[in-house]
Chains A and B, each alone.
Chain A
Amino acid sequence: GAVVSQHPSWVICKSGTSVKIECRSLDFQATTMFWYRQFPKQSLMLMATSNEGSKATYEQGVEKDKFLINHASLTLSTLTVTSAHPEDSSFYICSARARTSGTDTQYFGPGTRLTVL
């Protein structure tokens, strides 16, 4: 149980284009999803917290107009990188919080490797 999927697993795009990444909780309902980015050999950096049906809360320094987050249902959140540039190339990982037995455990997706040319 507690499986989180991401699609696509990797994407290559041209500079200036937009890319959408999907995050799904497959076997549980996630009222909260989180988006992280991770650069090589570094830790996970939280970008934003997404609650179902409401606007995302962005961490300091993360441009909300560049990284659009939508959490339309209890099993799906999307991250759209708008007007992507090479410096946006990174490993993007989502996590979902499972309200199971009253616990707040976060389960992570497999990540999406974004390369912007």
Chain B
Amino acid sequence: GENVEQHPSTLSVQEGDSAVIKCTYSDSASNYFPWYKQELGKGPQLIIDIRSNVGEKKDQRIAVTLNKTAKHFSLHITETQPEDSAVYFCAASPSWGKLQFGAGTQVVVTP
């Protein structure tokens, strides 16, 4: 089955700096890669996703890149703000399949 590894486990950044979270996956059949943001005591919120026919996708301060050959994908947050502080999860799945989640990254943005 699919195995997703996520790094780093914690990430502290100064407000205004960029944050990068990296994930690798093992199953070459995976072609859907969403990223979720989870605040304390709440459910995960989809923030961006990418499919294997696209190498990069951007939505305002958030971008995701995908390298299918190397089986890794990354989340980039620019101009970080305190409200970006949360746990971020990457996930991977084949089309219409089950999501396999990474272990999560605790992001702390300090003013």
Contacts and interface: CB of A to CB of B under 8 A. Distances in A.
Interface of A: 4, 6, 34, 42-44, 46, 49, 93, 97, 104-111, 113
Interface of B: 32, 34, 36, 41-46, 49, 89, 93, 95-96, 98-99, 101-104
B45 to A, nearest CB: 7
Contact of A105 (B44, B46, B98, B103): B46
B88 to A, nearest CB: 11
Given A108-B44, A109-B43, A111-B42, A43 B102 contact: yes
Contacts of B41: 111, 113
User: Chain B's interface: helix, strand, loop or mixed, by majority?
Assistant: loop
Nearest to B89: A43
- Majority secondary structure of chain A interface residues (helix, strand, loop or mixed): strand
A57 to B, nearest CB: 9
Of A104, A107, A110, A111, chain B has the most CB atoms within 10 Å of the CB of: A104
